[in-house]
Chain A
Amino acid sequence: MSAPASMAAAAAASGADGDALVEVRHVTLRFGGVTSLSDVSFSQRRGEILAVIGPNGAGKTSLFNCLTGVYTPQVGEVLFRPASGTALSVVGTKPYKVNRAGIARTFQTSRLFNALTTFENIKIGVESRFSVGPLGSMLHLPHTRRAERESDAKVVELLEFVGLTERANTIASSLPYGDRRRLEIARALGTRPELLLLDEPAAGTNPAEKASLVELIRKVNTVYGVSVLLIEHDMGLVMSLAERLIVLNFGQIIAAGTPREVQQNPAVIEAYLGAPESDEDGR
């Protein structure tokens, strides 16, 4: 991409208003000689559903890893709640601290605790917010028992919310694919995030599961008031959910805006479909 185009895109992407929940500024991430993200800037408003799309290898998951503290970009910064007094600079912060600050995520290939039950999986997320120590657990202190009761209640609520109540005691590894996706979302929600990052939530699901996942993500946004940033390849899903899109290609933002705008952007069409003269079958 040419430099001016990317600059323009960046300017469009960072809808400069004071209600930003997360702000990504000029993030560049390299692995040796490979540049995975190059000068990526955008911001997401509180309560917004924002989608990141782009061809494979465009750097979408790398972006997520920068947003959750897994990768440390060489240049740039990521600010969470930049306007508030409790602003957090994500770059260089450990993943669990990022999670505690309010950014939860799911993974491209769901990473559940496979030998544990559905209930226990969610519980691990929920109780990471409770301060329970080893002594309290060994001695069954009242404080610990209260925390157990409260987190159990929260797990029951989340099971109900994602529709897995009947599967509470099923071992995670034996859940069908769609349910695994729901469980991962429930576990992430259990950590009480303000921002939920979903990495291809509908990958590998059938149409019926996909439809109910869209419903669930919308509910996450409206009922819990959680902002959602999602990576997704399924255009139908993206178009129906996202208010705004960011298009990544070769680590750069090449377009941003509403779904309609992005669809008509020639750079996006080129990135996805190749240059006009290239042969369809050649791909």
Chain B
Amino acid sequence: MTTISGEAVNHPERMASRSPAPGEGRYRALVRLSRNDDVRRFVISVVGGLVLALITGPEGNGVQMLSGINGALLHPHVFICLAVTVGVWVLITVRHHFARQVEHVSGRVMALPKAVLPDRRVRAGLWLALFAFAIIYPPTLNSFWQNVLVEQIGIYVLLAIGLNVVVGYAGLLDLGYIAFFAIGAYSDAYWTGMLPVHPPLHLNPFWVFPLAILTAMLAGVLLGGPTLRLRGDYLAIVTLGFGEIIQIVANNLQGVTGGAQGVINIPHFSVHVAGIKYHWGLSNLPYYYLILGFIVLALLAYFSLEHSKVGRAWTAIREDEVAAEAAGINTLKYKVMAFAIGASTSGVAGVIVASQIGFVEPGDFTVQLSILILVLVIFGGMGSLAGAVVGAAVLQWLPQFLRVHPLFGYNQLDLYIYFGAILILMMIFRPEGLIPSRRRRREIVLAEHGVGSADAMESGHSGGGLAAVANPEADL
């Protein structure tokens, strides 16, 4: 409201000239209202809430699309959706009108972590606390949550850490990441002798890890070598295609992969050393600790990489490939390296999942999964290890929590609608992600201010040569 009244006071004649003819005076107020940004956003948020209520929750069917809310406009679900979208409207409006105050408050709130977090010891302490929590807490959970911890959280955290190397560090948009996961899973099935084709020797799943890592890496190099010469959108399309190819090959190459029925009876992990026999079976905890071990290994390794020559080279490539090449960086080599390292992580996750569930089918490796992992990375904060861990954990835990919670209990089919909504909100309020890396945050700030400063200089001085000569005092 403030904007419109302010404008009306300052430019009464302009307002008058924009409003409709005198005869339509009664529309005047309405038109004026519709020009108000706040009102417009409010209407959009209400409509958005209704649409959200319509496309989620109690469903209609093909014949009667609206039967879900037919005669049930007072269904609580409608109100929940409206409350959420209007809540967002309130947030946006407050941020818009009280920008300075909001900044003041949020500045104070953020001052504490900013003051404490740069301290290395504090950050190391936080990681250690998180690690200790991850070790001690799970045994106290019931088997449902332990299962969620392994299949929904642990595996996805590992996958997100791996994709973070590709997308976050090297800035390569990989939409076929799940293909390497499939390669890991099928490697496991192959080396344990469960595929129609038999391996030279049958291995315990533990011994499959190095082989699966190598296979996934090799696949990464083979795919990356020719395609990483492409940039941006082109690379995304090619990786998308690669993901599809792997899935279709797994589906159609019946004699090798077992086809659409999948592979069954992949053995669980087991230990037979010096008379000790330990079979993991279906219990969740051993798998959880195995995943935790790999997560910690990956975190340590990738943290070192990020702060090494390799990590700096990735940042350089992400920011300006031409300049990186001119500074002596073999850009293709480093891009392939990022691709292969990400692929190997995905391969490890594939082995763990295959041996835990004991069953692999092509339908497990959909594009949707690749995109889900990408969403986890973006949500957490690209290029940030803490972001990948916390982002993936939160975003994978939340739906499970809401699903079993009596108050929210939503329909599983609607999950991705909510994910989409969360991502949109994220892009509005915190585009750099939950826990952004410092480098990435800077890049986003630069992009918002249009790093155009350099370009502006170019257009500004492009006439300089002639201008200098046009001056008779110039030496020529």
Query: Which A residues fall within an 8 A CB radius of B?
Result: 54-56, 68, 70, 94-96, 99-100, 104-105, 107-116, 120, 123-125, 127-130, 132-134, 137-140, 144, 147-148, 171, 173, 177, 187-188, 190-191, 203-204, 233-236, 239, 259, 263, 268-269, 272-273, 280, 283
Contact = CB atoms under 8 A, between A and B. Distances in A.
Given A55-B466, A96-B331, A115-B443, A105 B312 contact: no
Given A99-B327, A114-B451, A177-B457, A235 B312 contact: no
B233 interface: no
Given A99-B328, A114-B446, A273-B476, A132 B308 contact: yes
B393 interface: no
B327 A134 contact: no
Given A96-B329, A113-B320, A233-B465, A120 B312 contact: yes
Contacts of B439: 115-116
Contact of B442 (A134, A139, A144, A171): A171
A273 B313 CA distance: 46
Interface of chain B, helix or strand or loop or mixed?
A: helix
B305 A114 contact: no
Contacts of A236: 475
Contacts of A283: 466, 470
Contact of A111 (B323, B464, B469): B323
A70 B322 contact: yes
17 contacts: A55-B466, A107-B326, A109-B455, A111-B323, A113-B316, A115-B439, A116-B315, A128-B313, A128-B327, A130-B309, A134-B341, A137-B308, A137-B310, A173-B446, A233-B468, A235-B469, A239-B475
* Chain A to chain B: the 8 pairs with minimum beta-carbon distance, closest first: A128-B328, A137-B308, A115-B442, A111-B323, A233-B465, A99-B328, A138-B301, A95-B325
Interface string B449-476: 0010011011011111110111000111
B327 A124 contact: yes
B306 to A, nearest CB: 9
B471 to A, nearest CB: 9
A37 B293 CA distance: 59
A191 B458 CA distance: 26
A146 to B, nearest CB: 13
A139 B304 CA distance: 8
A139 B460 CA distance: 49
B173 to A, nearest CB: 18
Contact of B312 (A123, A129, A233): A123
Interface residues of B, number: 49
A99 B326 contact: yes
A115 B305 contact: no
Given A111-B326, A272-B469, 8 more contacts: A95-B326, A110-B454, A111-B320, A111-B454, A112-B320, A113-B316, A144-B308, A233-B464
Given A116-B439, A132-B310, A94 B325 contact: yes
A148 B300 CA distance: 18
Contacts of B466: 55-56, 272, 283
A137 B458 contact: no
A68 B464 CA distance: 25
A148 B442 CA distance: 25
Nearest to B308: A137
B329 A138 contact: no
Interface in B419-444: 439-440, 442-443
A223 B322 CA distance: 28
A111 B458 CA distance: 12
A113 B464 contact: no
A137 B465 contact: no
Nearest to B322: A111
Contacts of B304: 137-140
A173 B451 contact: yes
A218 B383 CA distance: 40
Contacts of A235: 468-469, 474-476
B37 interface: no
A124 B442 contact: no
A73 to B, nearest CB: 18
B54 interface: no
A234 B325 contact: no
Contacts of B310: 132-134, 137
B337 interface: yes
Contacts of B316: 113, 116, 124
A140 B474 CA distance: 57
Interface string B359-396: 00000000000000000000000000000000000000
Given A96-B328, A204-B461, A137 B322 contact: no
Given A114-B319, A138-B304, A132 B309 contact: yes
A166 to B, nearest CB: 20
A215 B474 CA distance: 21
Contacts of B326: 68, 95-96, 99, 104-105, 107, 111, 188
